[in-house]
Structure 1
C-alpha cells in the first residue's frame, strides 16, 4: 500500500492535518514544539483509494534527541510514495526549509508544498513569499479553519493507485447472537480472523524498553530510543509482515505515577487507553532488572480491563539477577488477575529471544478468536457444576441449564440460568479455570454473561 508522509519543522501543524485526514484524533497536538517525536502511521481512505498516512517528527537540530527524530523522519520520507512538506505561514520562508524541500524534491516523488495557518490576508500575503521554493504543487491551507484542505486531498487522490478498503463490520451483540449459528447449532464466525491484521499494543511504565522492543520486533530503528524518560509521547504505529501475517504494532507512551503525569503526558495516557480499545493483544513490558512496582500492577490492571489477549514480557533479562521461576512466582502472586497470561523473557536491545514473541503472539491470537465447540463447552460446564455445585440463593437452588458462545475476541460465553443474578464472581473464576483445562486458552480472558432463559436484556459480565 502506498505511503503518504507529512514532513516539516516542528509546530507547523503536521499532527493537526494528520488527524483531519484520518478523521480521528490519533496524533497528540499542542503548542509545544517537538510534541511528535516518532513517526505515527494509520490507514486512511481518500474517496475510492486507500493509503498509509504518516505523521513524522519535526525537522529540528536543537538537541541530540531531536536530531535523531530528524534523521528518522528523512529516512521515512525516502521510503514514502508521496511527500507533503508543510511550512508555517506565520513566518517568512527560511533557508533551512528551502534546502530541505530541495533535498526531498530530488527523490523524484510527488511532493507538495503545503503552507499552513493561512488565517488572514496578512498570512496570505506572506504565503506568496514561498514562491522562491520553486514548487510545482503549492497549497495554501488552514487546518484549524478547514480551508484549502479539500484541494490537497484531491491532489493526493490523483497520485494514489486504486486500493479499496474493506469495511469492518464487527461482531453482533448478544441480543442478535442467534443469527450467528449454523444448522448444527455451532457458532459461525462473523469475521475471517485468519485474514485480519493482528493488532498488538506495547504497554508499560517509562523506560522499561518498549521502544527498543518495537525496534527489535520490526528489525528496524522504528521508534526513537533515548535514556530520557518519556521520550515516546504519541503512540508509534508500525505495520509489519512476518511469515505471511500482518502485525500492527503500537508502542504506547510510558506511564508514570499519577503525581508525575502533567502537561502533554496526560494526553499521552489518555491516548494509550484509546489504543488499548482497538488492540487485540497487549504486551505488558516489565523491567526484569528492577523489582516489580505498584505502578506495574496498576498498568497491568488498566490493560486487563480492555478484554485483550495478554503476554507478559520480561525485558532486560540480560541484566536480571533474579531466577526466572522466582520472578514468575512473584508476578503470579501480584498479578492474580492475569493468571492466564504467558510470561516470556527477552533482551530487546540485544535482540535475544525477541523472535519467539511472534509465535507466542500468533498462538494467543488464535486462542483469542477461537470458536469453542458447543458440546465440549457444555460437557466442561456440567462436569464443573457436578464437582462443585452452585451455592444456593436465599435457600433456592441455582442452575446453569446450558452454555453457548456468542462472540469472539475474546470468547464470550452466555450462561443460561434460572437465577443469573445469583452467580458469584468467584464461581465464574472457578468455571474459567475448568474451561482452561478443556480448551487452549492461554493468554485469553473469558467473558461470562449470565442470562435467564428467554431474556434479552443485558446482564453484567465479568472477565476471567
Structure 2
C-alpha cells in the first residue's frame, strides 16, 4: 500500500485536507499554529485505490517542541511514496518552502504542490506565483469550499499502482467528497464555549453534547475492529500532563511515534498505533494530558473531548503516574474516569529511574491508599525513557486481557457463592428472609455476574463487596472490575 505524506508549514490546511481524503472529521483543525503535532495515520480509498495517509505537524522551527515536530514530519515525508506539499495560496511563496520542496523532489518520489485556500475564481491568479517551484504537478484547491479537488484525486490515483485497486463493492466514489457540504471548523469552534473557571472539584471540560456533524463526530479511532474480538486489545494511555505518556507509547512500539518534549500538553490529537504481539493485536492510544479545568488552554479544550471518546471505546487503560513527584488529587480524579468506564487497568509508575527507589514500599502503599477504588489494578514500576521493564508491560497487558475476557462456568461461580453464604448468611431486611437462588456470568469485558434473588433490593452493598472479594479469591480477576446485577427470577 502506498504511503502519502501531507506536509507543509503550520496553518496551510494539511489536517483539513487529511479529513477530506479520509472522509471524516478525524484530525483536529483550528487556526492555532501547531495544532497537529504527532503523525496521524489512516487508510483511505482514492478513486478506487487504497492508500495510507499521513497527516504531519507544521514545518516550523524555534522552540524545542516545534523542532521535534518538524523532525518527525520530515521523517514521515522521507518514508512516504507520494508527497503532497501544501502551501497557503493567500500568501506569497516562502523561500523556505521552495528549498524544502526541491529537496523532496530530489528524493525521486511523486511530489505535488497543493496550493490551498484558492477559494474563488479571482484567487486563481495567485497560482501563477507558485509556478516558481518548477513543477507541473501543481493543484490550486480550496479544502473548506470543496474546489479543485477532483484533479488532485486523479493525480494521486495515477501514482498508485493498479495492484492497489479495491473491489468495486468495497470502494466508494472518492470524487463525491468534493460535493459534500463544507463544514467550517472555525465556525464550529466559535459556537462552542468552554468555561475557564478554576474548579478543584472538576477537571477536563464542560459536559456538552457534541453535534453529529461536528469535527468531533465519527472519531471512534480505535473502534474500527470487531468489538467482540478478544484478540484485539484497545488500550488508552491516560494521565495528567508531563507524566511520560508519549514516551511510554514510543517505548511500547519500539519507535519514535509520538512527539516527546518538556512542553506540557504536547499531545493534542489522540494518536493510535497497532502492533502484533504473541498473536494479539494491541492498539495503543496516546491521549492528551489532563489538567484542572482552569489550567486548560486553547485547543487543548477540544482535544480533551477526544479523551472521553477513547475511554468509552477502549478495553483497557494504562494509568500513568510520575513516580518522581508527589501524587496529586488530579491523579485520583483521572483514575476515577477509568473506573467509571469499567475498564481493565494497570497502574504504571513511570520515571522510576529518577524516583526514590529506596522508598519503594512507601510509594506502593501510598498508591494503594489513594486509589482504593482500583485495588484490583496491578502496579508496575518502569522508566519509559530508558525502556526499563517496559517489555514486562506487554505480557502484563495480555494477562489482564485474559482476566477481563474470561467466562467462569456457572457451576464454579455457584460453588463460591454457596461457600460464602454458609460462612456469612444474608441479613434479613425488615423481618424478610433474603435468598440467593443462584448466580451466573452473563457478559465479559468486563465480567458481569447476575445474582438471582427473591428480593434484589435486599442485597446490601457491603454483602456485594463480600461476594466480590470471595470471587476474586477463587478466580484470577486481577486488573479487571467485577460487576454484579441483582435480579428476580425471570427478570431480564
Which bin holds the TM-score, normalised by the shorter protein?
A: 0.7 to 0.9
In 1: Cα distance, 2:88 partner to 2:229 partner: 45
- Say if 2:88 is the partner of 1:88: yes
> Displacement of 1:224 after TM fit?
1.9
Q: Deviations over 1:108-141 (max 9, x none)?
A: 3344333322222233322353333344544433
Aligned counterpart, 1:431: 467
- How many positions carry a matched residue from both structures? 435
> Displacement of 1:272 after TM fit?
1.7
> Displacement of 1:33 after TM fit?
0.7
> Displacement of 1:215 after TM fit?
1.9
User: Is this contact kept in 2: 1:93–1:129, CA < 8 A?
Assistant: yes
> Displacement of 1:374 after TM fit?
2.7
Inter-CA distance 108–260: structure 2 relative to 1 (3 Å threshold): same
Aligned counterpart, 2:272: 237
Inter-CA distance 89–354: structure 2 relative to 1 (3 Å threshold): same
User: Is this contact kept in 1: 2:47–2:153, CA < 8 A?
Assistant: no
- Say if 2:439 is the partner of 1:386: no
User: Is this contact kept in 1: 2:12–2:87, CA < 8 A?
Assistant: yes
1:355-374 aligned at under 5 Å gives the runs 355-374=391-410
Aligned counterpart, 1:283: 318
Inter-CA distance 411–62: structure 2 relative to 1 (3 Å threshold): same
Aligned counterpart, 1:460: none
**RMSD between superposed Cα atoms in Å:** 2.8
User: Is this contact kept in 1: 2:10–2:58, CA < 8 A?
Assistant: yes
Aligned counterpart, 2:33: 33
Inter-CA distance 51–380: structure 2 relative to 1 (3 Å threshold): farther
In 2: Cα distance, 1:387 partner to 1:232 partner: 52
Segments of structure 2 that go 5 or more residues without pairing to the other structure are 171-222
SS of alignment partner, residue 367 of structure 1: helix
> Displacement of 1:389 after TM fit?
3.3
Aligned counterpart, 2:329: 294
In 2: Cα distance, 1:368 partner to 1:72 partner: 36
SS of alignment partner, residue 254 of structure 1: coil
In 2: Cα distance, 1:383 partner to 1:248 partner: 40
In 2: Cα distance, 1:78 partner to 1:27 partner: 22
SS of alignment partner, residue 102 of structure 2: helix
Quick check: 118-127 or 251-260, which moved more?
Answer: 118-127
Inter-CA distance 118–330: structure 2 relative to 1 (3 Å threshold): same
Inter-CA distance 169–244: structure 2 relative to 1 (3 Å threshold): closer
1:95-114 aligned at under 5 Å gives the runs 95-114=95-114
Q: Deviations over 1:14-56 (max 9, x none)?
A: 2223334444443222211111122123445667765543221
- Say if 2:262 is the partner of 1:227: yes
TM superposition score normalised by structure 2: 0.80
Inter-CA distance 28–428: structure 2 relative to 1 (3 Å threshold): farther
TM superposition score normalised by structure 1: 0.84
> Displacement of 1:311 after TM fit?
0.7
Inter-CA distance 281–347: structure 2 relative to 1 (3 Å threshold): same
User: Is this contact kept in 1: 2:64–2:261, CA < 8 A?
Assistant: no
In 2: Cα distance, 1:150 partner to 1:446 partner: 53
In 1: Cα distance, 2:53 partner to 2:466 partner: 46
In 2: Cα distance, 1:325 partner to 1:282 partner: 24
> Displacement of 1:306 after TM fit?
1.7
> Displacement of 1:155 after TM fit?
5.0
In 1: Cα distance, 2:446 partner to 2:51 partner: 29
Segments of structure 1 that go 5 or more residues without pairing to the other structure are 172-190, 457-464
Aligned counterpart, 1:130: 130
User: Is this contact kept in 1: 2:417–2:467, CA < 8 A?
Assistant: yes
> Displacement of 1:66 after TM fit?
0.9
Inter-CA distance 287–89: structure 2 relative to 1 (3 Å threshold): same
> Displacement of 1:417 after TM fit?
3.2
1:180-191 aligned at under 5 Å gives the runs 191=228
